[in-house]
Amino acid sequence: MRMMMRARIPVEAGNAAVPEGTAMAVLQEVTELVDIEAVYVGPEQGERRVMVFFDLEESSDIPAITEPFFQKLNASVELLPVMNRQDLMAGVAKLG
């Protein structure tokens, strides 16, 4: 299932993680676990936000994907099922 993981990194944790290389290391770690479709990074409400779009094959993969953000970046993390345009078109077609 296509998922969006949104991580909110507090300012203090981000200020330490970026120059140390921890932030990029966490993204690399997650990239090695799942086939990432897209990654977007930017500010939101005064903090760093990371949005990662990927296919979640097994729900048992969730801890391995989210824990690096929790433990190494002190981030809060959300996982949301999402659709791209093709998924939406297929879903609407099933409505009848």
- Tell whether the model's pLDDT for residue 9 goes beyond 90: yes
- Tell whether the model's pLDDT for residue 48 goes beyond 90: yes
Summarize pLDDT for 28-40 with one digit per residue, the tens: 999 899 989 999 9
Q: Which helix (H) or strand (E) holds 92?
A: helix 85-93
Summarize pLDDT for 59-74 with one digit per residue, the tens: 999 999 999 999 999 9
- DSSP strand E in the chain: where? 2-9, 36-44, 47-55, 76-81
> 């409400």: which residue's tokens?
45
Please provide the size of the chain in residues.
96
Work out the percent of the chain whose per-residue pLDDT is above 90. 95
